[in-house]
A and B are shown apart, each in its own frame.
Chain A
């Protein structure tokens, strides 16, 4: 687990799965110079600094309190909002994927939930 960004509103945490999946999906970024991957990290940091993302295109509830933060190229971070024992507000990134289709696959939702369950147990 890594603390990616400590923002004005909340802290952005990456689980081990997020850390492992980032370099793989960042390499799949189809845009020139990995601009889309940079956009996703900018979105995550903004989520640390503001209560919400204004753009309806870039954050989407996927059910069971799992959210997708979406860059324009299909690169996505799945995660959930929570808090830690010190009362800090968090957004915990479960994992990253490069998604070709618009709809979340049941496998990705299941994976995010499994990572959340494990994270909360730990």
Chain B
């Protein structure tokens, strides 16, 4: 069953893009918050270390202000760690994306990666457009 929230995310390519941006910003911010917690730092401590205001740090972490790559690298340096960028994490998604888009599947279904494209297409052609990701995920005919 495609739910209201999932439908909203997948309503258009633009909406999906915006959602992907927000998800990434949130992921980065949550990792920074975790680091701050581990170091027992407050956002004011981070603001001082970055020579900026507490409000600026708040806005960067809640996504209302863009954080530059330089700032991100500086935060990592200050907190004695490094940033690793990996564009390959969702590489397997690409080959399923067109079909998944047609089916309005949740990304999790696509990430499963155990689905043969023809099987998905077959299901689509036979009208199984509302099939849940779990139903599809275990029909591996590759």
Contact = CB atoms under 8 A, between A and B. Distances in A.
B49 interface: no
Looking at chain B, what size class is its interface with the partner chain? 20 to 34
A35 B21 contact: yes
A117 interface: no
Interface in B18-73: 18-19, 21-23, 25-27, 29-31, 33-34, 37, 58, 61-64
Contacts, number: 80
A14 B5 contact: yes
Interface string A1-42: 011111000000010000100110010000001110111011
Contacts of A109: none
Chain B interface helix/strand/loop/mixed: helix
A54 interface: yes
Interface residues of A, number: 30
B18 A14 contact: no
A86 interface: no
B64 to A, nearest CB: 5
Contacts of A97: none
Contact of A43 (B18, B21, B26): B26
